[in-house]
Chains A and B, each alone.
Chain A
């Protein structure tokens, strides 16, 4: 097998952070390479070097048997390397065909004029490769996420092939928000394009990496710690290599589980809203209820309606015996409700602001003195929560975008936890995209909150998370609750039973 890309002893530092240490990997022709590691292990840095968006400090880098040093993304695409980003790069407002060929229109543009017909014909060629049928004339936003993901891959193929060389695709966590069927579909496409394409596949889901890869590199703390043959490796083995410790019972902090207080905190009576209908639910003080459901199960909107971010259409919300008639989030917050949204970067934090601003945004009175902002109080608040939540951030003036996802999420949590009147916390997939270590810490915080008597509604990111975190597990499907299961350490509901309620 011919080697397409080879990196030898690559080193890269950002300031004091040694992101890559002596990394060597090879990508062969038509090979699917699995790349795993916790967040911060160096996967993204490695991909960025291969895709040309940053350059290595030292080491050898050759592509197609030629020593190279990419200075830009377009240098990489000229060698056939193309990256599929986690955050999709497709524009919602232009047609599918235009998206695929954006910047590489080729024969569809002559003397500044544009031939819609030709670009459509070209687009269909690439969409066939990823086995989807879409109207290439339609605006991209009419298609659901999974279809757009395929379009994105078609686009990456087009960009790579534009170089005239066989494509090398870098897929950065392409499956993180796909359902099981969609993942299967993606895999069959990868197996199909493998004939003439090399693929680097990055994922947090180890079983997926095992099933699709020809070879797996495991990274930890900026180093490649192992090269694994997926035919002989197991998930446990990969996990241990990745985190350097065993997956123990302590992952979900089960030993911290406490009993809910026998007093109702939240009652939902026949609550209906966009995408869900007639929801009845009692939540006790100190109880964690996890709700599991697929993308259009309605659970996301249920969480938002309780928080007052979306209007309900009918039904009642009662908190501590008093009806909550909130039509906006402001009233809900004043009644002690907090909400952690699933889209951390757009809804959870304000990326352009610093840690202190983000921390104090929901409860500004905690940082004011006589109605004026007090820098002193912000600083004190920051140090207080930095200790409580084991926050890794240098100062309250640090830009929040420079923090890792886990630390950003802790700030989102802290902005609710600082409310002394907090009674109910609604969390929409709070651990999505976080590494194992950060997840465990979030679980610990949730357990502590429950122990203090705060009620928690957890829209869990995975089956395990829902099953192991909840005192009760609810399943939702098509806007209705389809099942309710008690869950306690030692007597957890079966995965299959839960799945039945979801699909």
Chain B
């Protein structure tokens, strides 16, 4: 009697319910809510959503790369390149270009996708480990951003419509948040109902089995890097709208934030397990920790230490079961 139930739960967590991460999330929420009343207020909820939006976009692509057992460290570089390209091509106080709001998104996503393609090709065709490749493309992106930025002061955005994306709200949420939600839904559908999405699990499970089953591993792995580049590029675009300026360092801290989120959510770095729903919960956990530290007035010097510690603890708790084979000696 006991067995079918267990199978059901495991089947459930496979079909995409990140149970351990949700429990961790609930504990953190309850803990903070007890500590400070402000936490459960509508404004605070909205500000968590606003704070989480950019990271949510980033983890959409990153999740697939990690699911396949690779890693993408180039996020901040891609954001630098896309943010600088976007800020210099929409109406701004440095150049005469004006590609408009739609154009801004195309530019941002395209710049990211191209950097992702370079990474993908290097990993699959030249067979360099993704860890090294994406450190290279990280710096490549940063350098590209600096070249565009030059030595002049940061370009200020003048495109009102573009700036308003992070100001105008609909149902209390800014348009940036709605864009993030849209991307999440699309990503979930990709994960669930496309060959690319399903094969991400296959490739992460065993590349060898995938190859022997006739799966074009190189193609799908490249797509994952392109997708990850594109979502980071989109994140860079959203950051320009939020900040009102183009800055090379606008993505600072996001790499740690995004990878921690994905891992906390329960996607294993060796690939094959987890998914976008896991990563969403991971981002919410990370954001909640960040916001609650502000609410609880934690000394800003300590915030990073607390964040690092919490990541360790949550991964320990959330992935306790998955990591069992790694803990036992044999």
Asked whether A114 lies within 8 Å of B212 as measured between CB atoms, the reply is: no
A137 near B11 with CB under 8 A, answer yes
Q: Binary interface profile of B, 1-32, with partner A (CB < 8 Å = 1, else 0)? A: 00000111011001100000000000000000
A103–B272 Cα gap in the complex (Å)? 17
Q: Is the CB of A103 within 8 A of B195?
A: no
Q: Per a CB cutoff under 8 Å, which of B7, B204, B215 touches A142? A: B7
CB-nearest residue of chain A relative to B274?
A: A93
B62 within 8 A of A: no
Q: How many residues of A contact B (CB 8 A)?
A: 32
* B259-291 vs A, Cβ < 8 Å mask (1 yes, 0 no): 000000000000011000000000000000000
A138 and B8 CA atoms in complex are apart in Å by 7
At the interface, yes or no: A89 with Cβ under 8 Å from chain B?
yes
Contact between chains at B328 and A89 (CB < 8 Å): no
CB of B143, distance to nearest CB on chain A (Å): 35
Query: In the bound complex, how far is the Cα of B183 from the Cα of A338, in angstroms?
Result: 55
Does B197 make an interface contact (CB < 8 A)? yes
Main secondary structure, interface of B, reads helix
A157, chain B: closest CB distance, angstroms: 15
The reply to whether B14 and A105 contact each other, CB–CB distance below 8 Å, is no
Please tell me if the beta carbons of A103 and B198 are within 8 angstroms of each other in the complex: no
Determine how close the nearest CB of chain A comes to the CB of B26; give it in whole angstroms. 24
B171 interfacial by beta-carbon distance below 8 Å: no
Q: Which residues of B contact A73 (CB under 8 A)?
A: 212
Give the distance in Å from the alpha carbon of A93 to the alpha carbon of B329 in the complex. Answer: 22
Answer yes or no: B196 CB below 8 A from chain A CBs. yes
In the complex the two chains form, is A138's CB within 8 Å of B214's CB?
Answer: no
Of residues 83 through 140 on chain A, the ones whose CB sits less than 8 Å from some CB of chain B are 89, 91-95, 98, 102-105, 109, 112-116, 135, 137-139
Instruction: Give CA–CA (A137, B11) in the complex, Å.
Output: 7
Check if A314 is an interface residue, CB within 8 A of chain B. no
Pairwise interchain contact A139-B14, C-beta atoms closer than 8 A: yes
Bound Cα distance from A108 to B7, whole angstroms: 25
* Partner pick for B195 among A92, A113, A309, A347, CB 8 A cutoff: A113
User: Does B39 lie at the interface of the complex (its beta carbon under 8 Å from any beta carbon of A)?
Assistant: no
In the complex, per-residue mask of A304-325: 1 if CB is within 8 Å of any chain B CB, else 0: 1000111000000000000000
Question: With A and B bound together, what is the CA distance between A142 and B14 in angstroms?
Answer: 11
Interface string of B184-215 (1 = CB under 8 A from A): 00000000111111100110111001101111
Residue of B nearest to A77 (CB): B214
Q: Is A280 located at the chain interface by the 8 A CB criterion?
A: no
Given the known inter-chain contacts A93-B273, A309-B328, A347-B330, please indicate yes or no for A135 contacting B195, CB distance below 8 A: no
Q: Could you tell me if A91 and B209 are in contact, using CB atoms closer than 8 angstroms? A: yes
Task: Kindly state the interface size class of chain B when it binds its partner.
Answer: 20 to 34
Considering the chains assembled together, what is the distance between the CA atoms of A433 and B89 in angstroms?
A: 67
A341 CB contacts on chain B under 8 angstroms: 330
State whether B214 touches A93 (Cβ < 8 A): no
CB distance from A422 to the nearest CB of B (A): 19
Question: Separation in Å of the B134 CB from the closest CB of chain A?
Answer: 24
For residue B64, give the distance in angstroms from its CB to the closest CB of chain A: 15
With most chain B CB atoms within 10 A of its CB, the pick from A74, A94, A328 is: A94
Alpha-carbon distance A103/B209, docked complex (angstroms): 10
Of listed B8, B205, B328, residue having the most chain A CB within 10 A: B205
B329 touches which of A109, A113, A138, A310 (Cβ 8 Å): A310
Q: Give B213's nearest chain A residue, CB to CB.
A: A103
Given contacts A73-B212, A89-B209, A92-B205, contact A310 B330 (CB under 8 A): yes
A411→B135 CA distance, assembly (Å)? 41
Verify B214–A103 contact, CB threshold 8 A: yes
Give A91 to B214 CA distance when docked, in angstroms. Answer: 14
Q: Kindly list chain A residues whose C-beta atoms are within 8 Å of the C-beta of B6.
A: 142
Q: A369–B215 Cα gap in the complex (Å)?
A: 50
- The CA of A135 and the CA of B7, in the complex, are separated in Å by 9
CA distance A105 to B204 in the complex (A): 19
B201 partner residues in chain A, CB cutoff 8 A? 91, 93-94, 98
Task: Tell me the nearest residue of chain B to A304, going by C-beta.
Answer: B330
Q: Are the CB atoms of A309 and B329 closer together than 8 Å?
A: yes
Taking a contact as CB atoms under 8 Å apart, the answer to whether B214 and A139 are in contact is no
Task: Report whether A114 and B15 are in contact in the complex, using a CB–CB cutoff of 8 Å.
Answer: no
Contact of A310 among B14, B205, B328 (CB under 8 A): B328
A64 interfacial by beta-carbon distance below 8 Å: no
19 contacts between A and B (CB under 8 A): A89-B212, A91-B209, A91-B272, A92-B205, A93-B273, A95-B11, A102-B209, A103-B213, A112-B196, A113-B195, A114-B198, A135-B11, A137-B11, A137-B15, A138-B10, A139-B10, A139-B11, A309-B328, A328-B329
- Not counting A93-B273, A113-B194, a sample of 6 additional A-B residue pairs whose C-beta atoms are within 8 angstroms of each other reads A91-B202, A93-B14, A94-B202, A103-B214, A112-B195, A328-B329
